[in-house]
Structure 1
Amino acid sequence: MTEHHMFIVYLIFAVILRYSECYSIEKYSLLMPNVRPNTPEIYLCTPIKVDSSKNYYIVAFEPNATMATAHHMLLYGCSKPGSSKPVWNCGEMANDMTTDTEDTASPCSEGSEIIYAWARDAPKLVLPDGVGFKVGGDSSIQYLVLQVHYAHIDHFKDGSTDDSGVFLHYTLRPLNKLAGVLLLGTGGNIPPKSTEYMETSCAIEEKKTIYPFAYRVHTHTLGRVVSGYLVKQNSEWIELGKRDPMKPQMFYPIHINVTATLGDVVAARCTMHNDRETWTYVGSTNNDEMCNFYLMYYVESKEPLHKKYCFTSGPPKYYWHKTDLLNIPDREASTL
């Protein structure tokens, strides 16, 4: 083989190697660094800095957790993390659960968005082909912050530690279908011995077409049904998803393939049944409640929505019927 031919072979090999590197799927472990929670209902966060010299595209999430240890996990994308510590208390009620000597802060100090959520032994989530969460590089997500809620600490009284977290599957191959999550939720309270609707809705205010492909529901113990809808401008309600929140809280495929555009409304309802003798309020502990509907979507050749959260005050101040929404599917939204 001549020197010229050897150079050609080497060049082809180098191109193939570079191509395979860009198109292969790699795995990164984002886990709690063997923490030992010492307070019930504590939320702990740990961050990673994403390489800002490259764009990474997360295409799958593989949980490393069990509901016996972790109540739930959230993965935040941040412009800046809430703390420079390797681990910090990041619960909504952190000030009530810790002493003044502990470092308490939110998961993100700037640019907060949720890109993944897990609870109740949900399995691995694989995004549709060609869809990924863009992080690092020129994206707005420069840090990933793992948050784990430890409702109980009995497992750790013998000195055991925890490495709950998620394995991130990613590629360097540029993707033009960029994923995003819109989190719908409410505040509010639930009277004793009652069934209450916790509802939220927001209009899409950006000139973008979004393609919903997955949804996830979340409540604590009082939730019976959580439903999410796309309300078109002709007041047609299209069911995006509906689940019993006591089942594994994974991301499920959207019920109907549909697109949402400027002026459409996304709406969600949690039907809550309170058989307690006392009022129940929205909060971060297992004795409180939450009403969340996560809508995962992608956009083509554009950045995801700037709007990341859609929250209302909830009952007794906010209900669908107190807004301009028409043709409300009252029965369908609360029955499986």
Structure 2
Amino acid sequence: MESCKFIISLLFIISIIGRGVRAYEIDTYEFLMPNVWPNKDELYLCTPIRIAPKKNFYVVGFKPNASMHTAHHMLLYGCSQPGSNDSVWSCGEMQSNEIDNKYNTASPCKSGSQIVYAWARDAPRLQLPPDVGFLMGNDSPIKYLVLQVHYMHKFPEGKTDNSGVFLEYTTERMPRQAGVILLGTSGVIPANRIEHMETACTINEDKVIHPFAFRPHTHALGTEVSGFVVRRSPTGDIWQLLGSKNPQLPQMFYPVVSRTPITKNDVLAARCVMNNTRSHSVNIGATNNDEMCNFYLMYWVQDDTPLTQKYCFSPGPPYYYWSRAPQNFDRIPDRDFNVL
């Protein structure tokens, strides 16, 4: 009898290990565009879901349901209030005010905007580390999720799309809450020139964040996106690499190079190398003819809430470089820096 109990206990332990030390139940929610018709080129469409307000949910994985031939990229926003009460609306960040008879226009979020997930270039599924999840619902400022899909090209009449993401979630409390901070720039890339777009922000909150994944994002001109933690010391700055990737590869969340915790007064910094082979300058903007310089850092906090700061943006070139930043950096990495 005792040996039987031992075998049952052993099988239970093995089953837990086989599930990646996750002994809790995982459910899946299909968050997809409701068969929308992109009626013009360079269209951004948003659709919302309301999180049950009296329960806590922890999203622990993201499985994309999209193809780069259909969707240029997708963003998943957490919102306190969605940008519209419509089931679908036009939500480009830098759009004209032209009248669209098909969709009303609004931002993804009306209040409490933060990035939860991003996808492009046929990036694969993202699974968070054990005991890490994005808290949503009752005890979180995230009361809604808004899915934004960028469609580069108009669809033919009668053809619709249901791109989106399968959310893997649990109601089991996760001791480690996940968060994302987005580093990016504005700016201009001159014609026939390699430009370096840079941004940096000091962490002013008394929190310890544990980085575990990063994601690069540019359009066609980007050749490298790199992120760093700058640790200030009396003897000089220490630049610690978080990650560096060619953004023309699948724009997935990659494991960070260093998981050393980031604390108050550390600086997060990012650089995009842009090679503009065109005969005209290119601005940062929302369309495929424009550019973007984005470095997403995903992290977790232990028995705490994520950073209040969700974004870190600079004016970009020709107005901002690390050499002109208010932090007065030294030991700045060489512009020919290249890791992966």
Same fold (TM over 0.5): yes
- In the alignment, what sits opposite 2:63? 62
- In the alignment, what sits opposite 1:3? none
Correspondence 1:118 to 2:119: yes
- In the alignment, what sits opposite 1:8? none
Alignment deviations for residues 43-70 of structure 1 (CA, whole Å, 9 cap, x no partner): 0000000001110000000000000000
Correspondence 1:328 to 2:332: yes
Alignment deviations for residues 112-155 of structure 1 (CA, whole Å, 9 cap, x no partner): 000000000000000000000000112100000000000112xx
Q: Give the conservation status (yes or no) of the 8 Å contact 2:88–2:103.
A: no
Partner AA of 2:268 in structure 1: V
Tell me the CA shift for residue 331 of structure 1.
Answer: 3.8
- In the alignment, what sits opposite 1:13? none
Tell me the CA shift for residue 96 of structure 1.
Answer: 4.9
Paired with 2:317 and 2:98, the residues of 1 have a C-alpha distance of 26
- In the alignment, what sits opposite 2:217? 218
Listed as ranges, the gaps of 5+ residues in structure 2 are: 1-22
- In the alignment, what sits opposite 2:82? 81
- In the alignment, what sits opposite 2:20? none
Matched residue SS, 1:321:
helix
* CA 1:308–1:51: 2 relative to 1, 3 Å: same
Identity %: 56
Matched residue SS, 1:94:
coil
Partner AA of 1:162 in structure 2: D
- In the alignment, what sits opposite 2:261? 259
Q: Paired residues, what number?
A: 313
Matched residue SS, 2:96:
helix
Correspondence 1:140 to 2:141: yes
- In the alignment, what sits opposite 2:165? 166
- In the alignment, what sits opposite 1:5? none
Matched residue SS, 1:248:
coil
Paired with 1:283 and 1:261, the residues of 2 have a C-alpha distance of 32
- In the alignment, what sits opposite 1:38? 39
Q: Give the conservation status (yes or no) of the 8 Å contact 1:189–1:315.
A: yes
Question: Taking structure 1 as the reference length, what is the TM-score of the superposition?
Answer: 0.91
Matched residue SS, 2:323:
helix
- Map 1:161-200 onto structure 2 (within 5 A): 161-200=160-199
Partner AA of 1:45 in structure 2: C
Tell me which stretches of 4 or more aligned residues in structure 1 moved more than 2 Å: 93-102, 331-336
Q: Give the conservation status (yes or no) of the 8 Å contact 1:225–1:335.
A: no
* CA 1:258–1:125: 2 relative to 1, 3 Å: same
Matched residue SS, 1:259:
coil
Quick check: which one's helix share is greater? 1
Alignment deviations for residues 7-54 of structure 1 (CA, whole Å, 9 cap, x no partner): xxxxxxxxxxxxxxx920000010000001011000000000000111
Backbone CA RMSD of aligned residues: 1.3
Correspondence 1:227 to 2:226: yes
- In the alignment, what sits opposite 1:312? 314
